[in-house]
Amino acid sequence: MSCLVGKDQLVWGAYCHPSPVALFPAPTMPWSLLLPPLLLLAVSGAQTTRPCFPGCQCEVETFGLFDSFSLTRVDCSSLGPHIVPVPIPLDTAHLDLSSNRLEAVNESVLAGPGYTTLAGLDLSHNLLTSISPTAFSRLRYLESLDISHNGLAALPAESFTSSPLSDVNLSHNQLREVSVSAFTSHGQGRALHVDLSHNLLHRLVPHPVGASLPAPAIQSLNLAWNRLRSVPDLRDLPLRYLSLDGNPLAIVGPGAFRGLEGLTHLSLGSLQGLPRLAPYGFRELQGLQVLDLSGNAKLKWAGPEVFSGLDSLQELDLSGTGLVPLPEMLLLRLPALQSISVGQGVQCRRLVREGSYPRQPSSSPKVALHCVDTRERAAKGPNAL
Ligand SMILES: *[C@@H]1O[C@H](CO)[C@@H](O)[C@H](O)[C@H]1NC(C)=O
Ligand SMILES: *[C@@H]1O[C@H](CO)[C@@H](O)[C@H](O)[C@H]1NC(C)=O
C-alpha cells in the first residue's frame, strides 16, 4: 500500500522510490588498501608472496603496465607479543600487528627500515592501555591507523603530529576524555576521519585558542555510543559528518552546533535517556543535508521551530520516533526536503505536482509527500508495487 500525503489531504498513490540513507562515507584510505586483492588482480595487478620474517606473511601487490609499481602488505597478526619489534621489507605499505596481546607501543617498537614509509598500521585487538607520546613519531607517511579494540584510557596530546593521517580508528577503547588537539598535525590540510565510537567519553576538550598548531582538519567524527550528555564544542573543526548516536544527550538546544555551518550529515539516533529537542537547536546547520533521528522512541520535541534553519536538509529520518504526524508542517519548514522516514518503515518523498513550465513567479507549485509503507510492501513481495 502506498499513500500520498498532501498539505491537507490523504490520497492513495501508486509509486515510490525508497531511498536508503547512507550516513557515513567509506573512510578514505589509500585506494590500494581498500580494494580487495582479487579486484586488484583483475584490474591490473598481480599478487605474490615473498620471504618474510618467520610467522608473518608478506604479500607483494604489483600494478602498473609493466608491474612497475609494487606494495608489500605484511601480516604479523595473532603471533603474540614477542613479535615486536619486527623487521619488515623496505617497501612495506601496510603492517598488520593486530591480535598480538601487545601491552605497549613506543617508538622503538615501531622503528627500523620500512617503518618510515609505512602508510597503514593495524594495532587493533591488542591490550594497549596507553601509547607513548612519541610512539608514531617516525611514521612520517602514515595515513591509516587502527587502534580499535584496545584498553586505551588516555591519548597523549599531539600523539599524531608527525604523521599525515587521514584515518584514525580509536573505537572500542576506554577513553574518558579526549583533547581535540591530540589530532593536530604538522602536515596541513589533509581531511581526517576519526572514529571514537564505543568509548567512555564524557568530554571532548576543544582545541585551545592560540595553540601553536592549527586545529586538526577533522572532517568526519564518530562519537557514537559514548557518555556525552551534551553536544561537545566542536567549533573550529571543518566537520562534515558527525555521529552522536547512542549518547545520553539530555537536550539539543540553541547554540548546540555553533560553528558547524559546514556539517552536511548529522546522526542523533538511539539517544539514551530522555532526549529533548528545543526550538532552534539546529539553527546553525544551514548546510545540513541529512539528519538521522531514528530509534528515539522517547524523543520530546517542542514544535516545528525545532527544525528552523535547516534550509538545505534533503533527508530526514524520524523512523522509530514518536514524531508524527509531522510531514505536512515539515514541508513548509524544510524547503529542500526530498525524503522523510517516519513511524515503522514508512518512507515519504516530496512530489511537486501541477507545476507549470516555465514556472510562474506567482503560482507556487503544489507540494505533497508521497509515502509508502515498506513493511507492507515487503510482506506482499517484490512484485506488489
Ligand atoms: C618500548 O616498549 C618495549 C616493549 O613493550 C619495551 O621493552 C621497551 O623498554 C620500551 N622502550 C622504551 C624506550 O620505552
Ligand atoms: C573502526 O573499527 C571498528 C572495529 O574494528 C570497525 O567496526 C569500524 O568500522 C572502524 N571504523 C572505520 C571508520 O573504519
- Looking at residue 66, its pLDDT comes to 75
pLDDT band at residue 203 using 50, 70 and 90 as cut-offs? very high
- Looking at residue 1, its pLDDT comes to 35
What pLDDT digit, counting tens, does each position of 353-362 carry? 655 555 555 5
Q: Residue 379: is its pLDDT beyond 90?
A: no
Nearest CA to ligand 1 atom 1: 106
> What integer is the mean pLDDT of 148-169?
93
Q: In whole angstroms, how far apart are CA 15 and each of 20, 109, 347, 372?
A: 16, 60, 12, 8
Nearest CA to ligand 1 atom 4: 104
Q: Residue 253: is its pLDDT beyond 60?
A: yes
To the nearest whole percent, how much of the chain has pLDDT over 70? 80
CA of 113 to the centre of ligand 1 (A): 18
- Looking at residue 353, its pLDDT comes to 62
Range of 32-36, 52-56, 107-111, 123-127 with top mean pLDDT:
123-127
| 341 compared with 366, residue with greater pLDDT | 341
What pLDDT digit, counting tens, does each position of 303-316 carry? 888 999 999 999 99
Least confident range of 37-51, 177-191, 248-262, 275-289: 37-51
- Looking at residue 47, its pLDDT comes to 75
If you average pLDDT over every residue of the chain, what do you get?
Answer: 82
- Looking at residue 263, its pLDDT comes to 97
> What integer is the mean pLDDT of 141-151?
96
- Looking at residue 365, its pLDDT comes to 55
> What integer is the mean pLDDT of 65-78?
87
Cell of 144: 591509516
Domain ranges of the chain: 2-8+83-380
Q: Residue 342: is its pLDDT beyond 70?
A: yes
CA of 270 to the centre of ligand 2 (A): 19
To the nearest whole percent, how much of the chain has pLDDT over 90? 54
- Looking at residue 26, its pLDDT comes to 39
Ligand sitting nearest the alpha carbon of 25: 2
The helices-and-strands tally (H runs, E runs) of the chain is: 4, 25
User: Which of these, 290, 189, 191, 174, lies nearest to 242 by C-alpha position?
Assistant: 290
Q: Residue 43: is its pLDDT beyond 50?
A: no
DSSP code, position 199: S
CA of 333 to the centre of ligand 1 (A): 59
Distance CA(232)–CA(250), nearest Å, equals: 12
pLDDT band at residue 336 using 50, 70 and 90 as cut-offs? very high
CA of 130 to the centre of ligand 1 (A): 12
pLDDT band at residue 273 using 50, 70 and 90 as cut-offs? confident
Does the domain made of 2-8+83-380 have the CATH classification 3.40.50.300?
Answer: no
Is the C-beta atom of 199 inside 6 A of ligand 2? no
Q: Residue 368: is its pLDDT beyond 80?
A: no
Range of 65-69, 116-120, 183-187, 239-243 with top mean pLDDT:
239-243
Nearest CA to ligand 1 atom 9: 108
In 164-285 the beta strands, taken as DSSP E runs, fall at 167-169, 177-179, 192-195, 203-205, 218-222, 241-243, 251-252, 265-267, 276-277
Range of 50-54, 203-207, 213-217 with top mean pLDDT:
203-207
- Looking at residue 20, its pLDDT comes to 36
CA of 67 to the centre of ligand 2 (A): 32
Least confident range of 34-38, 160-164, 352-356: 34-38
What pLDDT digit, counting tens, does each position of 211-237 carry? 888 889 999 999 999 999 999 999 889
Reduced to 3 states (helix: H, G, I; strand: E, B; else coil), residue 187 is coil
Distance CA(341)–CA(185), nearest Å, equals: 40
Q: Residue 7: is its pLDDT beyond 60?
A: no
For ligand 1, pick from 83, 109, 130, 136 the residue to mutate: most ligand atoms within 8 Å of CB. 109
Distance CA(119)–CA(280), nearest Å, equals: 43
Least confident range of 46-55, 98-107, 312-321: 46-55
Cell of 196: 571514537
